[in-house]
Structure 1
Amino acid sequence: MKKYVDPQGRHIRVYVKLLHSPAWRVLGFSAKALFTDLRAIVTGTNNGNISAALSDMKHKGWTAPTTLAKALYELRAMGFIAVTVEGGLRQGTRVPSLYRFTDLEVFEQPKVGVLAMKATHDYARFESVREAEQALAEGFEKLQAAGRKKQQSNKKTPVQKMYRSNTESVSEAQISNT
């Protein structure tokens, strides 16, 4: 039996239940655009192995790292995506965080360390738009506080440079004695 191939090409499937959820209604335009761009990467078996690194997203028009980071945070806070592999420095190289869509099943991908998982629909935990807005606002406050704390701990204390004054001089006898 021949497999059906859509003559229009690949498409993105998003159920109306997700689009009508309180969590979706509080997302900003950038977060919704990022959702669409990330969803276009899903092939059916790679959910959980989705990278949203700026270097990967530049070809889709994402140029501002802060806009991308804010949109990513919104999608995570509202439960549309979740981290499967935490990024960072590993074996001397930078590894991006990998994400999964919570409304899709995840198949095991041992090469990247992603375990199989059923869809969790984390975005559905909000009963109302007000509850979702409050969760997003509280999340941003925590994120900003963590950023301020990190910024304060990274500040270098100024080091006073010690210069010999021109009035200090060392005699030739002191030099020859050493």
Structure 2
Amino acid sequence: MGEVAELAFAKYQEQELQTAASLFELVGQYKDNPTYLYDANYYAGEAYFQIGSKEEAASKNEEGAIVDQAQKDKAIATLNKAIGFLTVIETTDNKEAQDKYLVNALYYKAFSALTADNLESPKGDFVPMFQKLIDTINQRGTQEKNKSYLVDAYTYIGLFHYMKQDMPKAKQNLQKVLEIDPTNEGAKAYLDAIK
């Protein structure tokens, strides 16, 4: 199994993501070795996130409107696959795997749900995922290290509430963005629009 894992990492580094993801899936079924199990599930999830993001981008025109629904559906299926693999990391009680991968797994899981959503009328499945990312970073005291993740999480939660016309929640999250990144022009613009 070691040879397959090495080949998977090599393909991943070469950006042959579909091959890498398939190999990581195979390695991830080898439950006797925790290293293989968690490494494989994390990297399979991250690879499927990247593949799904590219598929989703290919479903839109330059203005961002969906022009190929079949391509969008394919992207959603791929992104849901990513969420499945990343959930293995989220739900394990293996401390080593959580220390190594949990924050990144939560980030890619939330972004997979965000990318799969219809942002013109979002369902918001990504909101609790980004909230869990925020809570995990705060519990671990790794705010400085994960500043950009926090900015993204608060931004997308804020924008969701803004689109749903829940201005108090939108304002609360966008103000958090400015606490972390006082020069964030996007957050400033939305906060100005809320006033």
State the TM-score, normalizing by the size of structure 1. Answer: 0.27
Instruction: Return the structure number with greater strand share.
Output: 1
Relative CO higher for 1 or 2, CA cutoff 8 Å, sep ≥ 6?
1
